[in-house]
Amino acid sequence: MKRNLLLSPGPTQVPPQICEVLSRPIIHHRTPQFQNHLKVATEGLKYVFQTKNDVYILASSGTGAMEASVCNLVSPGDKVITVEGGKFGERWTEICQAYGTQTKVIEVKWGKAVEAKQIKELLHAEKNIKAVFVTLVETSTGVTTDIESIGKIVKDTNAVLVVDAISGLGATDLQTDNWSVDVAIAGSQKGLMLPPGLAFISVSAKAFKLMEQAKSPRYYFDLRKAKEALAEVDTPFTPAIGLIIALNESLRLIKEAGLQNLFIHYARLAQGTRAAMKALGLSLLSDEPCISNVVTAVNVPNKIDGGKLVKTMRDTYGVTIVAGQGHLKSKIFRIAHMGCLDEYDIITGIVCLEKVLHKMGYSFTLGAGVAAAQKIFSA
């Protein structure tokens, strides 16, 4: 009888319509029946990615698509830029280094965003940068990067811009084509409201040229194979059939709601969450203008055990929020507001947070957070 509310930044809640599709008998993938699904899925993804580029569907989690970006673009010794302002920025560095690149790292304080001019300066200082790897929403800190400004800089160079949009695609704006993003990647278990197991990757013509030249070994993630197969409405290897068919239900729901309306919806949920946190006397890790609308990182107050807070909410009361990552592990907690969530879910999360903070002896006016969120949601 316990609630299972996911306010976590992946996996997010899967709507019942999608759960139902996941329970259907499987079909074979080398059939016109599945080809129809694949066609609808790849077209629908273009809508969510806001791109005319091909979007390839991989059977992997998001990190697989991150590796696909790296191994298809770079050769050993190539110079690349990564931005480390959190755990997922660090992952770009790790993958690039695994492939033997000269990785120029821009370090950013966790909770802050990289500035476009930092990338501009490094592109000028270093010659022959092959690719710039950035993160749309740094899940570990709740920070959104200004991709549009970075795109304006990178597009006039020989480098390609690669954006990890795993957290955020479908929930916060990413205008792949308008912002000159060459490679954008996403995962199924975030804004797309599916279980994890699918990753998506859009590739511009500029990026694909590099992919034809890159010398890193690759097979499963070889996007030359993916491109060739997609031209035949096929996949190079057995696709995650069930998840792709369910993806089409997700894409249908997203189109029905309208992408722009969803961005407004999630921004409102984020605004309500932030107002609630402040009303509880809690401070946020990141601030305007780089604060994210898909996940809010909140500083754990003094004398409160952040780990215990998260565990009690989840294991005793059935509301899943998550702790920090890396050096912020016990210092922050994170509440996500993407996926199949509405204002009642956010209110439920705040009610639970207040209850546990109250039991743990944190001093505040019970109900203050809920009231602050209600005020936003009733405006």
* Binding region for a copy of itself (CB under 8 A): 4, 6, 8, 10-11, 13-14, 19-20, 22-32, 59-64, 66-67, 70-71, 76, 94-95, 98-100, 187, 189, 195-197, 216-222, 237-243, 314-315, 320, 322
373 within 8 A of 272, measured Cβ to Cβ: yes
Q: Are β-strands 54-59 and 198-203 bridged in parallel, bridged antiparallel, or unpaired?
A: antiparallel
Q: Is the dihedral of CA 356, 361, 362, 367 positive or negative?
A: positive
CB-nearer residue toward a copy of itself: 17 or 118: 17
Q: Cβ of 260: how many Cβ atoms within 10 Å?
A: 9
Q: List the structure tokens of 78.
A: 């190539």
Least Å from the CB of residue 28 to a copy of itself: 5
Closer CB to a copy of itself, 82 or 271, in the complex: 82
Q: How near is the Cβ of 22 to a copy of itself at its closest, in Å?
A: 5
Nearer to a copy of itself among residue 311 and residue 358 (C-beta):
311
Q: In angstroms, what is the C-alpha Rg of the chain? A: 21
In the bound complex, what is the minimum distance in angstroms from residue 75's beta carbon to a copy of itself? 11
200 or 362: whose CB is closer to a copy of itself? 200
Look up residue 94 and give its two tokens. 């790790």
Q: How far is the CB of 230 from a copy of itself (least distance, A)?
A: 16
CA distance 213 to 203: 15
What string of DSSP letters covers 321-372? -EE--GGGTTTEEEEE--SS--HHHHHHHHHHHHHHHHHTT--S-TTHHHHH
The neighbour count for residue 57, using CB atoms within 10 Å, is 23
Judged by CB, which is closer to a copy of itself: 111, or 187?
187
By C-beta, is 4 or 260 nearer to a copy of itself?
4
CB of 196 to a copy of itself, least distance (A): 5
Nearest distance, CB of residue 187 and a copy of itself, angstroms: 7
User: Whose CA is closest to 366, among 352, 355, 377, 378?
Assistant: 355
Q: How far is CA 91 from CA 140, 163, 181, 228, in A?
A: 12, 13, 19, 29
From the CB of 205, what's the least distance to a copy of itself, in Å? 24
Residue 309 has a CB neighbour count (10 Å cut-off) of 22
Q: How far is the CB of 99 from a copy of itself (least distance, A)?
A: 5
Distance CA 30, CA 239 (A): 10
